[in-house]
Amino acid sequence: MLQLTALIVLIAALAIAYVMFMQRRRSAEMLPPCGGILDRPPSLSAAWTKEAGEDLGELNEPARCDLIFAASQLGDERAHRLLVNALADPSATVSLAAAHALARTGHMRDVENFAAGADSERSSELLKLLALID
């Protein structure tokens, strides 16, 4: 009888975990794109994710942010290059995440170099937001 109760509790816990996972995934897919001054022209793409692997080329915005923060923990040259390329992401949120990750790992110079060569309004806004975070 105890084994049956334990099995029922395990099945219920798995069902609850599955429902919560699906709700979180659905809510992440339903997030509206960021609006405002930091948005890039639609001609830009998030193709920088393809450098990390073929399966990552079609990631949504929250997943690209997760990729950025994971890559920042690696500390190698390939991860650094991925972070620098992520600064040009069309999403303001992803671009800010990349700038924050670079600044946090001591590569603020790369962010400043990107800002110097990018749209002045977007880059100045990016630097202001980064200053607020750090």
Q: Which has more pLDDT, 42 or 52?
A: 52
User: CA dist 115 to 36, 41, 44, Å?
Assistant: 17, 16, 16
Question: How far is 10 from 13, CA to CA, in rounded Å?
Answer: 5
Name the CA dihedral angle for 110, 53, 93, 89, rounded to a multiple of 10 degrees: 60
Enter the tokens of residue 126. Answer: 């990016």
Opening angle at CA 60, ends 87 and 89, nearest 5: 15
Give per-residue pLDDT as tens, 2-25: 788 888 888 888 888 888 877 776
Gap between the Cα atoms of 89 and 97, Å rounded: 10
Instruction: Kindly report, residue by residue over 90-106, the tens digit of the pLDDT.
Output: 888 888 899 999 988 88
pTM exceeding the 0.75 threshold for the entire prediction: no
Among 38, 19, 90, residue whose Cα is nearest residue 59: 90
Handedness of CA 98, 85, 47, 89 (dihedral sign): positive
Dihedrals φ, ψ of 48, to 5°?
A: -60, -25
